[in-house]
Amino acid sequence: MDSDTAAQETRQTSHAALAKGYRQMARDRERETEAEEWAEALIGDVASDEG
Q: What is the reported pLDDT for 12?
A: 81
The percentage of residues in the chain with a pLDDT greater than 90, rounded to a whole number, is 47
Q: What is the reported pLDDT for 51?
A: 58
The domain of 39 spans 3-50
Per-residue pLDDT tens digits for 2-16: 778 877 788 888 999
Query: Distances from the Cα of 13 to the Cαs of 10, 37, 39, 44, 48, in angstroms?
Result: 5, 32, 29, 37, 42
Domain count, the chain: 1
Residues of the chain with pLDDT under 50: none
Query: Distances from the Cα of 38 to the Cαs of 26, 34, 42, in angstroms?
Result: 16, 6, 6
Angstrom distance (rounded) from CA 31 to CA 36: 9
Angstrom distance (rounded) from CA 44 to CA 51: 11
Contact 25, 31 (CB under 8 A): yes
